[in-house]
Structures are given as structure tokens and as C-alpha cells.
Structure 1
Amino acid sequence: MGVKGFVEGGIASIVAGCSTHPIDLLKVRMQLQGESSAAVPAIRPALSFPGTSSVVMPHPTPAPRPPGLIAMGGKILRAEGPAALFSGISATVLRQTLYSTTRMGLYDILKTKWSNPAIHGGAPAFPLHKKITAGLIAGGVGAAVGNPADVAMVRMQADGRLPAADRRNYRSVADALGQMVRREGVGSLWRGSALTVNRAMIVTASQLATYDQAKEAILERALLPDGLQTHVAASFAAGIVAAVASNPVDVVKTRVMNMRVEKGVAPPYAGALDCALKTVRAEGPMALYKGFIPTVSRQGPFTVVLFVTLEQVRSLLKNF
């Protein structure tokens, strides 16, 4: 398989990443909602009335409900224009080129090396535990390679939500990476890398293993022929599993990568665990599933486009 697996995976990943970029941007914006909320609610002054000894506490004002997927999209369109939905698209292309190309190609290599000889009635050629292990390794390596582009992408997608005076205004992914190195040091390119690696391991293991497992099950049971219907069904299942498994890590990753760090000022989060704890204390446990609808809405189509494109590219390049 060698280089061919990297080329096939890279082409499919770039197509899938670009086609679902607006939904990914909505996911990032929704994951950042409520981030500035205080961890401890403000103490409201008590009200007392003349001639009485009782103290009346005012009724707390309920927090406004954050906008959903469609409302968030409308808000961005009104405030920033249609082009805002493609903020950070250059970073997406670079991220898919580095991260997804690496993970897809490496998974293919491990799949080839670890597959058992086909024995009729024996063990499956590539058992589930090997699929998961290959996905964990491939995802971790790919994430380490692609982390700089991931940080740039998150920042570029999130920039429009800030007041004009606080925006970073990166012109492109190259400009973003250059400014980060100059202002925050080379280490900033790997900010949140532990989270990126953990998320990528979860996503890749659940996504690729589920796709292969679902596809094998469909073909073994002759539910569908080996064609577009099977590829769509298997990839949709893979997208759902990956979204459920990865969303909590994704929320923390987004917040850590997006935080503004100034010299001489303590950062908002000391690390991933600190971010997770502060998020849960301030916003409740379900805050870790913020952006879940756009995550599923993006992960489903992304995975379908990814694997359908991958199967088509493999078909086109089978003689090379």
C-alpha cells in the first residue's frame, strides 16, 4: 500500500473537510458559548423593606438560552456575512493534508501488516481489537503532526465572535502560524496537543474501526451489495459513533486552543483538566456536549463524504 494509502486518504480527507467546513465552524462557535461565565454566580444584594425585619432575596434572572445550530448560522450571516462561514478554510486544508493524510495512510499500513491470512471459517482477517489499536496509533501520530494547523483553524473559526478590538484577524493559515510563533513562541503551535492527540485517537479508532466493522457486517450478511449504499450506511454509523465518543474532549480542546495568553497574565486555564473542571463547575456537566448537534451534523456528512470519496479514489487508482 505504502504511499498510495496516504495519497488516497489525503484526497478524500481534503474533499470531506472543505465540504463540511461551515458546519465545523458552527460547532466551534457553539462550543465556546458560555465560556466567559463566572464559575461562581454573582451574589445578588438582599432587599429589605421599612418596618420589616425580613430580608427578601430577588428572584434570579434566568440565563438566556444559547442559540442552536440554525440560529447560530443566522447570527453569523447577519453579523459577519456569508464569507464568515468559510473562515479558516485554508487552515482546514492544511490540517487535513497533515493530520488526516497521516492517520489514513498509517491506518492502511497497519491494516495490511496486521491482517491475518484469509482462512475459511477461521478468525476474521482484521479483527476489531486490531482495528481499534491501529486507529489509536494512527490518530495519535496524525494529530501530533497536524496540531499547528488545528490551533490555527480553531482560532480563525472563532475570531468573528470577538469584539473587533480583540480579534486576531489572521489573513491565512500561514499568517496565523507566523503570528503565533512571533507573539507566543513556537510552543504555542502545539497548545492543546495532548487533547488533540487524545481526541484524534478516539475519533480515528471509533471512525475507521466502526466503518470497517459495519461494512464487513453488511457484506457478510448480504444486506446490501458492495457499492454506494453500503459505503454510505457504514460511514454514517461510523460518524455517529465518533461524534458521541469525541465531543467532550473536543469541547475542552477548542477552549484550550482558543484561549488568549498574555505575557505576565495567568492563562484562563492551567491545562486540559483545569479547563474541564472549570467548564463543568460554571456550566454543568452537559457543557461538555455543547455543539453536539453540529458535531453530529458535521461528523455524519464528513464521514460519509470521506469514505465514499475514499472508495471512489481507490477505484480510480487501483491499477497504480
Structure 2
Amino acid sequence: MSEIKYPWWYGGAAGCFATVVTHPLDLAKVRLQAAPSPKPTIAKMITGILRNEGVVGLYSGMSAALLRQCTYTTARFGAYDLIKQKLIPRDQLTNMAYLLPASMVSGAIGGLCGNFADVLNIRMQNDSALDAAHRRNYRNALDGVYKIYRYEGGIRTLLTGWKPNMVRGVLMTASQVVTYDVFKNYLVTQLHCDPAQNSTHFGASLLAGLVATTVCSPADVIKTRIMNATDEKRGAFRILRDAVRTEGPSFMFRGWLPSFTRLGPFTMLIFFAIEQLKKHRVGMPRELPARDA
């Protein structure tokens, strides 16, 4: 029986669904990573956003977050599935020696394709936390892309932080997508879980979320600092050096708990949505009934 080829956009569609649900947690995470010490807890951050900006404030930058899923997530999931279909032998689809290189290439592609949306996403989420003189006041994602391109440095600014973002894309895809495949295979083959059950998907994705949060935390924090910098002349190395000097190396794991609070549910939701899309074959042609000979 031939292997089923699912649409390339499943990852991006699932990412949009997960983003709508978890965006307030991602917003709190970004603001915690960019906030000066001493940092508030995630609960205090969310409470402060509600008090100062209302419920609408929890969804600041939503259009940019969705644009990021349509670029970054679609590219990395689509490339990963394509590499698995075209380049990896069918009997090696759970072999880490094949999956890790495939995920690293896919993550780098996703990080580069989605970099401009990531810059916009971080700036829009953190905008209202800045003082009035430094606010950018983008109306939506398209307005933000236009203003950055037209008035704020053009392509150079849209590519701000592309190196750490590609590194994060590699780490995220390797630690999230590959570990999901590996954990799911372990649950099915070793613990005899039903591969079609939601509990199997949630268990594998929860473990993948734990691994992804820990592996990606340093690159995520550095990327946030670079992309949110108001002084465009400060390079990545200088931002990193200043942060280590003033906060110590532990700053790279600043916000791990809020990161997992967001990435754990996000990982569970995105893989749940992908499995549901596959189960119901959304966007795929329906099988035609067999004709009588």
C-alpha cells in the first residue's frame, strides 16, 4: 500500500489554531524576557496586562503571530514532511540518524522564511510595554511590514536576528517535531498505546514540549532581546555580552516556566490539530468508490 501524502499546509493551519488559544501566554513570555530585573511572575504579568490594557491587550500583535505561523511554521513542517517523503527510506522513519538532519534543515528553512514575521511579532507584542517615545504603533501585521520596510531600515531590519532565529528554528524543529515522532513511536511500540487515540498524541506532545522548551530557551531569549532592541546599532554580540555582564549566564533560561506554560500547551494543540487534519483528510480528495468490473 502506497504511503499517504498529506497537504503541505497542515503544520501552518495547526499552528494558527494553537496560536489563537495560547497567544496570551506567548505575549506574557515575550514581555518577561524583555523586561528588566527584577522580573514579575507570569501571573503578575498577565494581571498587569489586564489591568492596564484590558482583555484586548492579551491579544496584542495577534495578526503578526498568525503571519508567523503562516510562514515559519508552514515552512518548517512542510519541509520536514517533504524530506521524510522524498529522501528518507520508509523503514527508517523513526531513526534519529535520519530524522535529526531532516529536522535541522527544515528548521533553518523555517527560521529564515519566517524571520520578518518574527521581528514584527515580537515588536507588536512588546510595543505597549515601552514608553511612549519608543512605541512603534503598528496597526496590524501588514502595516508593520510596510513601515519597517519604508521607514525603519527596510530588508535589513526585517532580517534582524536572522542568525539566532535560524538557530532557534533548528533547535525547535529538532527538539519538538523529532521528539514527537520518537515519543509517539515509543508509546505505540513499547507501551502498546493506540496510535489513533488522542491520549497517545497528547502524551507524546507533552514530552516533546518539555524537551523543546529546555533546548530552545537560550536561543529564544537572545532572539527576543535582539529583535526588540530599540538601538539598531547594537549588534547581537554586544547585546549578548551586556546581558551576561549584568545578569549572568542564567539570563538565557530567563522565563523558562512561562515559556513552557506557553510552549507545552502549544505543542500539544499543534500536534493534536495535525492529527485531526490527517484523520479527517481535510483538503484531500475523497476516495472514489470502486467500479464494478
Is the TM value for this pair above 0.5?
Answer: yes
Say if 2:235 is the partner of 1:270.
yes
The partner residue of 2:111 within 143, 152, 163 is: 143
Say if 2:200 is the partner of 1:235.
no
Q: Which runs of 5+ in 2 are unaligned?
A: 286-293
The partner residue of 2:270 within 289, 295, 306 is: 306
Residue number in structure 2 paired with 1:37: none
Contact 1:114 1:126 in 2 (8 A): no
Cα distance in 2 for partners of 1:116, 1:222 equals 25
Question: How many percent identity over aligned positions?
Answer: 37
Taking the TM superposition and a 5 Å limit, the aligned residue runs for 1:1-320 are: 4-34=6-36, 65-118=38-91, 124-186=92-154, 187-226=156-195, 227-261=197-231, 267=233, 269-271=234-236, 273-317=237-281, 320=285
Contact 2:93 2:99 in 1 (8 A): no
- What one-letter code is carried by the residue in structure 2 that aligns with 1:108? D
- What one-letter code is carried by the residue in structure 2 that aligns with 1:286? S
The verdict on how the C-alpha distance between 1:7 and 1:280 changes in structure 2, with shifts beyond 3 A counting, is same
User: Taking structure 1 as the reference length, what is the TM-score of the superposition?
Assistant: 0.83
Contact 2:221 2:252 in 1 (8 A): yes
Contact 1:14 1:96 in 2 (8 A): yes
| Structure 1 runs, 4 residues or longer, greater than 2 Å off | 1-5, 113-118
Q: CA RMSD in A?
A: 1.8
Instruction: Point out the structure with max Rg over C-alpha.
Output: 1
Contact 1:103 1:204 in 2 (8 A): yes
User: Taking structure 2 as the reference length, what is the TM-score of the superposition?
Assistant: 0.91
Deviation, structure 1 residue 277: 1.8
- What one-letter code is carried by the residue in structure 1 that aligns with 2:112? A
Contact 1:26 1:294 in 2 (8 A): yes
Which structure shows the bigger proportion of residues in helix conformation? 2
* Secondary structure of residue in 1 paired with 2:114: helix
Deviation, structure 1 residue 15: 0.6
Contact 2:6 2:278 in 1 (8 A): no
Cα distance in 1 for partners of 2:249, 2:172 equals 21
Contact 1:114 1:130 in 2 (8 A): no
Deviation, structure 1 residue 221: 1.2
Equivalences, count: 280
Q: Which runs of 5+ in 1 are unaligned?
A: 35-63, 119-123
Contact 2:115 2:159 in 1 (8 A): yes
